[in-house]
Amino acid sequence: MSRDELLAWLRLLSLEFSANKLRALLEQFGDPESVLSASREALRAVAGIREADIIAIERAAGEPVTIPAPLEQGEARLIVAGTPDYPRPLEHLPDPPPALFVWGTLHERDRFAISIVGTRKPSAYGRMVAERFTRDLCEAGLTIVSGGALGVDTVAHRTALEAGGRTIAILGSGLGSLYPSENRALFQQIAESGGAVVSEYFWEAAPDAWRFPVRNRLIAAWGMGTLVVEAPEASGALITARLASEYGREVFAVPGSIDNPKSKGCHTLIKEGAMLTDSAEDILTALKVQPEPRERTPSLPILTETQEKLLSALDLEPRHVDTIARQVGLPVHVAQAELTMLELQGLVRRMPGGAFVRVL
């Protein structure tokens, strides 16, 4: 992305339009620069654009903007929808963010993730459960996604780091206004350890209350499933869980004491159809994750471009070699040979009937 393109994106995102409104503008005009230079007549032709929006666009187009130092220095970057780096789990949201600010590193394998959420004031039991599940799920190779809040979120992120796993924090504020401030050191540790801190909001966006429920859709969509560890009846974690269910993701809830109000939300979810979960094995089985022993693959081997394509095409669902070959545009015999090499490296598993699955 050129400097001028980045400046245009910063101006556009500073408008704080909804993801759907931004997408409508970008679909109509193609890129932020064209949106900002569009005539009033052209802007009025876009569905959902009001006169107040047009005035805001004109004002943003003429205002000076400074590139934040972390973006200027490459410590953080802006990832745009439709590019290879954009997180695949978010692509099919009803309202995917047109761009994301990312501090740290996203990996292709982060699409194999589990979202862990819960109360900001967990009991000792809740903390213990969050630590146990996080550690076991990291051991299985799953990326841990959460919201960076105090409480269960913080326990999940910290335990993932301690276990040598990957974790992603999706914030309800801009990366230039990290919230909660108590977790700034944790966010830095996540970014520097190879994980990522992510926000769809403009750089200096304050942690306004309305942003967190909106942000929760990203947590719900990113994970293959959402685990609710401990949550009272009025909890943002329940919003995330219900969104996950709407998106076709699995929802897992940990039961607690019937006398503990912090478990009421989990019990309600279970009554509504969430899976009662008392071990990470329940989650791995439901998600069809088939981890290999860690000692078999102490480090990721160097792969050829063809092997990278095959690995990226594989999922946790068994897929026949003929289907895989067609998907990546390879002759079947070539795909078969390369998949065998990946199998020897412990990265894929051969299933009955000529099918293969990804190993985490």
Does residue 134 sit within a domain? yes
Q: Are residues 143 and 9 in the same domain?
A: no
Which letter does DSSP use for residue 122 in this model?
Answer: -
Domain boundary among 16, 46, 67: 67
pLDDT number for residue 2: 92
pTM: 0.83
**Per-residue tens of pLDDT for the chain, all 360 residues:** 899 999 999 999 999 999 999 999 999 999 999 999 999 999 999 999 999 999 999 999 988 999 999 999 999 999 999 999 999 999 989 999 999 999 999 999 999 999 999 999 999 899 999 999 999 999 999 999 999 999 999 999 999 999 999 999 999 999 999 999 999 999 999 999 999 999 999 999 999 999 999 999 999 999 999 999 999 988 889 999 999 999 999 999 999 988 889 999 999 999 999 999 999 999 999 998 876 555 444 445 678 889 988 988 887 778 899 999 999 999 999 999 999 989 888 888 888 888 888 876
pLDDT number for residue 297: 43
pLDDT number for residue 203: 96
Q: Are residues 305 and 279 in the same domain?
A: no
Q: How far is the C-alpha of 79 from the C-alpha of 101, rounded, in Å?
A: 6
- Read off the CATH number of the domain in which 270 is found: 3.40.50.450
Which range of residues forms the domain containing residue 270? 107-286
Q: What is the CA radius of gyration of the chain?
A: 22
- Please, what's the b/e burial string for 50-77 (b: 16 or more CB within 10 A of its CB; e: otherwise)? eeebbeebeebbeeeeeebebbeeeebb
Q: Are residues 189 and 272 in the same domain?
A: yes
Q: Are residues 254 and 307 in the same domain?
A: no
Does residue 331 sit within a domain? yes
Does residue 100 sit within a domain? no
Query: HSE on the CB side for 360, CA within 13 Å?
Result: 27
Q: Within a 10 A sphere around the Cβ of 103, how many other Cβ atoms?
A: 23
Q: Do residues 255 and 278 make contact, with C-beta atoms less than 8 angstroms apart?
A: yes
Q: Within a 10 A sphere around the Cβ of 341, how many other Cβ atoms?
A: 16
At position 250, the amino acid (one-letter code) is: E
Does residue 85 sit within a domain? no
Q: Are residues 127 and 250 in the same domain?
A: yes
Q: Are residues 275 and 336 in the same domain?
A: no
Q: Are residues 48 and 166 in the same domain?
A: no
- Tell me: cis bond preceding 180? Omega within 30 of 0 counts: yes
Q: Are residues 144 and 11 in the same domain?
A: no
- Strands 275-276 and 167-170 come out as unpaired
Angstrom distances, CA of residue 212 to CA of 121, 148, 207, 209, 221: 17, 11, 8, 6, 14
- Read off the CATH number of the domain in which 32 is found: 1.10.150
Domain boundary among 261, 286, 311: 286
pLDDT number for residue 74: 93
Does residue 304 sit within a domain? yes
Q: Are residues 306 and 282 in the same domain?
A: no
pLDDT number for residue 296: 45
Q: How far is the C-alpha of 102 from the C-alpha of 199, rounded, in Å?
A: 7
Domain boundary among 286, 320, 342: 286
Q: How far is the C-alpha of 327 from the C-alpha of 228, rounded, in Å?
A: 35
Q: For CA atoms 8, 13, 15, 18, give the dihedral sign.
A: positive
Q: Are residues 321 and 282 in the same domain?
A: no
| 3-class secondary structure per residue, 35-102 | HHHCCHHHHHCCCCCCHHHHHHHHHHHHCCCCCCHHHHCCCEEEEECCCCCCCHHHCCCCCCCCEEEE
Q: Write out the H or E segment, with its range, that includes residue 137.
A: helix 124-139
pLDDT number for residue 298: 46
Q: Are residues 273 and 323 in the same domain?
A: no
Q: Which of 68, 73, 51 is nearest to 13 (CA)?
A: 68
Number of domains in the chain: 3
Does residue 113 sit within a domain? yes
Q: How far is the C-alpha of 247 from the C-alpha of 146, rounded, in Å?
A: 17
Q: How far is the C-alpha of 282 from the C-alpha of 222, rounded, in Å?
A: 19
Q: Environment class of residue 332 by beta-carbon count within 10 Å: exposed (0-12), middle (13-18) or buried (19+)?
A: middle
Does residue 294 sit within a domain? no
Q: How far is the C-alpha of 157 from the C-alpha of 104, rounded, in Å?
A: 14
Does residue 14 sit within a domain? yes
Q: Are residues 200 and 115 in the same domain?
A: yes
